[in-house]
Amino acid sequence: MQNDFFKYQAQTTQFAAGFEVEKAEGSYIFGKDGRKYLDFVAGVSANTLGHSHPKIVNAIKEQADKYLHVMVYGEYAQEKPVELCRLLAEATPNPLEITYLVNSGAEAIDGSLKLAKRYTGREEIVSFKNSYHGNTHGALSVSGHEGHKREFRPLLPMISFIEFNNENDFDKITEKTACVILETIQGAAGFLVPNDDYLVKLKKRCEEVGALLILDEIQPGFGRTGKLFSFEHFGIVPDILVMGKGMGGGVPVGAFMSSKKIMETLSHSPKLGHITTFGGNPLIAAASHATLKEVLESGLMNEVDEKEKLYRELLVHPKIKNINGKGLMLAVNLGTPDFTLNVAKRCMEKGLIVFWQLYRNEYLRISPPLTISKEEITEGCKIILEVLNEE
């Protein structure tokens, strides 16, 4: 299988692991080599409730027995997509009230940018240096790392970039700005958290000039920071909220959410202002609804702070420079990219899956399922410390 993987399936790097998966359950992935591996990555923040959570699996099976795709997005009323959108509206503050379901976080970013332009009638966009929003042309255009963009230009025009946590850049947000888009917590840059009142001041500046604020919660959303969405820690509500990854608990999904007043502008002049064939797919919506319901009702979010504290207490070592992040999205600075990549490789050999940050390879990614136990955290951190002692 590994030979066919490299021969027939397109690769995203020249050093893919090619690890052969047999099955996955809870906090573990089981390989065809007969070993089990503790997962500290959760599919890059996607497996919110761990692997093969029974409530998600049962929701998928029940929906599969009823029907799969029946019509393009927005035409038919289907039980699970409607239930998902209603539950999202009930769980988020005003004016977030209506959701557009799509297939991925990157598509949701593209849809949110179109929505902001359509509603404001403006063309300019402000994004952030070192931001990451996805790899479609639109999402890549507002991502702030030139090394990942250079070979794909020309991209969208009229986009400027400001520095995260720097209030001196606010004067670049003007009456010509359609929207400001940012990750509530910068992901690829090393899980950077906004300063205390930075987002409050940013939202105020957007309101002053009539620009919409788009928050990308694709990574921190769905309980990863101890709140359903991480903006709830910072005293603001975005005009447009983007979500994905952990929303589906292991299936491909994305969405953007706003007020009815803003969202309805995509339905006319022109009609089909955004359209997707498989967005709102009932099978995916069933899994997403089961995930959201469990996150809201299980009490898992109440455990996040204690689990974060445990990671920070255990991961103390002379080779660890610092730990960024919040909740169960932590970035461990090991100094250099080469050393970090080697540590990740050695951890895998010892039965622990860790990864690295896209732009800042010196940071080791820790983003386990919310369901991970304290015993499993202790077990995994012991492996990391063993590797650091050996290197």
Residue corresponding to tokens 């009539």: 210
For the chain, report the end-to-end CA distance as a whole number of angstroms.
32
- Residue 46's identity, in one-letter code, is A
**pLDDT by residue (tens digit) across 324-340?**
999 999 999 999 999 99
256: DSSP letter: E
Given this model, what pLDDT does residue 15 score? Answer: 78
Query: Buried b / exposed e across 176-215, counting CB within 10 Å, b at 16+?
Result: ebbbbbbbbbbbbbbbbbbeeebbeebbebbeeeebbbbb
Which parts of the chain register pLDDT below 70? Answer: none
SS3 162: strand
* Cα–Cα distance, 144 to 154 (Å, whole number): 15
Given this model, what pLDDT does residue 16 score? Answer: 82
Q: Residues with Cβ < 8 Å from 56, sequence gap 6 or more?
A: 49, 249, 250, 251, 287, 290, 291, 294
Given this model, what pLDDT does residue 297 score? Answer: 98
- Residue 336's identity, in one-letter code, is T
Q: Residues with Cβ < 8 Å from 93, sequence gap 6 or more?
A: 232, 237
Q: What are the residues facing 160 on neighbouring strands?
A: 126
* Cα–Cα distance, 44 to 132 (Å, whole number): 14
Given this model, what pLDDT does residue 14 score? Answer: 77
Question: Positive or negative CA dihedral for 264, 268, 270, 272?
Answer: positive
- Residue 324's identity, in one-letter code, is N
Burial class for 316, CB neighbours closer than 10 Å (0-12, 13-18, 19+): exposed
CB of 163 closer than 8 Å to CB of 170: no
Given this model, what pLDDT does residue 274 score? Answer: 93
